[in-house]
Structure 1
Amino acid sequence: MVKMGTRILLTSALVAAPLAAQAQEDVTAGFAIALSGFVAPYDDGPYKAAKLAIEDINAKGGLLGRKIVDVVADTASDPAQGATAATDVLSKGAELVMVTCDFDFGAPAAVVAQSQNKIAFSSCAADAKFGVQGIGPDAYTMATATNHQGAILAEYAWKELGKRSVYILNDLQVEYNKSLCANFETRWRELAGGEGVAGYDEYNAGNDTVISAQVSRMKEAESKADVIMFCGAINGGSYVRQIRAAGIDLPMITGESMDGTYWLEAIPDLKDFYNLTYGSIYGDDPDARVNDFVARYTKTYGEAPVTGHALTGYGVIEAWALAVERAGTFDTDAVRAKLDSFNEENLLVGKTTFTSELHINNSRPMTIIKIDGGKPASVGSFNAEKTPEIKF
């Protein structure tokens, strides 16, 4: 009886051993993102691009010899579901959690990853609070900070467009908009002085579907301004349409939140509209690598990325894999140390630098898209000579 029991135990162990070895061959990347709801257009491209990066790494033998597999959980564009989604992918063994492309919508998931000492990467949350100060030392974002985005837009409007007086319209629903407008205004006032702001107004997309009062005030100030800075994101096309429908035809500049064409049906003949992006999705980016990526993405998924944010998703996997390779381990503390030593790493999304105190980039060039006659096209890559300091 004793010998038979021993034989059974040994046989069970021998059967279990290959299974354990097989499990060791894989490493899991988790995605707690919006697959549905109004935030989905911002997460769709980064997620699909991240899967392409995983495919590239696996084709070369994996990461530290282990195949990367992915697990995903839908936040349904609800911040309250972010923690649940992160818990789900972490319970499935995720060593990395990529979260939504926004501080407000991505932070809840990142906080859960931080609590379990796992690296959390937002694809493109551009508020500098997404990092050590706002979440914890395991939180990073592949975005370019709104400090630098605002500075690029201010200098582009001043130097390239020759504008001298701006009217600012700010959507207060998300931190990105508030931070973008604040940093734009800081840099703009340095260039144009106090007389360079013809007016300022705000709304909240969470409550205000119609902004007729704001549009009326903008119309009254139109003669004093020669450009509009629009800090909008969610349902942004509706607000742009309301402005144009009032006969306000001033050029408009805006951040990367308005990239893509998915919202253009509301204003099919839109003109004199400029937005930032991480890279053109129209095949005309100044960087040939970006155009090659867009072509591959289009071939794989049957359509181009919805926005240039897709590049940041590829960059998340690129950055994490590079740090893991340099660390020689998946241990979070070791990987974090390597991420914090990044110095202008040449990733697809652009030169990437992190420090132990700053987990966002604040110096990258960005592509600017001009929409004329409803047709978007790249006008080139631009950088800022001076960027407002990041303050917490």
Structure 2
Amino acid sequence: MPQSRHLATELPGPRSRALMARKTSAVAGGVGTTVPVFAARAGGGIVEDVDGNRFVDLGSGIAVTTVGASNPAVVAAVQEQVAAFTHTCFMVTPYEPYVAVAEKLNEVTPGDHAKKTALFNSGAEAVENAVKIARHATGRDAVVVFDHAYHGRTNLTMAMTAKAMPYKSGFGPFAGEVYRAPMSYPFRDPEGMTGEQAAARAIAVIEAQVGADQVACVVIEPVQGEGGFIEPAPGFLPALAAWCRQSGALFVADEVQTGVARTGDWFACDREGVVPDLVVVAKGVAGGMPLSAVTGRAELVDAVHTGGLGGTYGGNPVACAAALAALDSVERDGLLQRARAVEALVTGRLHALAARDSRVGDVRGRGAMLAVELVGADGLTPDPALAAAVAGAAKAQGVIVLTCGTHGNVLRFLPPLTISDELLHDAFDVLDAAFAATSTTTASAR
């Protein structure tokens, strides 16, 4: 597929409009879409729609196609496995690819202790199973999560998720024994607050409102995803992990969005040397196929009785084959280094944008997981309308940009790690123009 942006028709084109009419008639209204075009194929950093329009993909299917859309090695592995068998259920007649994925995740997740892995289908399912393991291993009930967290759409993970709309509104009552603590949010915390101080603030809430001896696990995204790509201040995660060790709670890293090279390390926890008790993996792990995992200390994972973990499709052989190819691609193609190169290029463009537009309140993130938070004239009030306008203007010119944040005022950038510098510069040229088109005021250089 040509790795270039191309608009062949108006957006959406006639075929996409016809398909959208069918979608409206046949698909549940609660299933929304971000871009009003229908994909026909995708490759590398490009998505092509049914009308022949090619879009630069700065979303990667929400951090899924990390090794590039339709990665040739992933496609070949899937084709070979499909020809062999598509399903037997690992709990009935097991197969080697499941074991191989577990071995690889045991190897690359943080820490050199003995580990074991269980495979599932989605990030939310894996988060739920991490909680199951933590409760079973500790004999405790309470689960601590954080402001702005996103952990999924199942009943338990909705309780763990902070944002009401569209994820929780009207769907309660939710699972109990879930408690929320304040997150380290450098852009909005008091000036000068360190990570250690932010952790002390969170720990004080946990100890006062939950009780240290009641906590089964503390579950946290090392860099928050849907909540706004919030990267906690240095020292926050290590301090929380240390408190968990002292209190007997398990430290669970939800690396669904941050894992598998997305942030320039195998896992975001690696940056500060944090070693979780359990790590949750999904999204980019299988190059576009549905697969998730919980990897953790062997004695904790093995605390669950036989039959207590699993599922009909968990660790599907086709998804496992894709995962082995995707994980190999990270190493073979130098994608950890590439993620850091993407960070340098994109943050350079974003800081230049911020220097000339005061509506960009914050530039943050790492690797190929980057964001800008958009604010009003006071430099702090969230501006979700601007985020929607900029994202819409970019999409109209063939660049897929996603929004996020508790207030919807954050633009997030999740390009595949295989994307070229040329495509990135083209996409951010479009973004610059989108900001200029929505500008009502200009700012002097900061």
Shared fold, TM over 0.5: no
Q: Using CA pairs below 8 Å that are at least 6 residues apart, which structure has the higher relative contact order?
A: 2
Q: Point out the structure with the larger helix share.
A: 1
Larger radius of gyration: 1
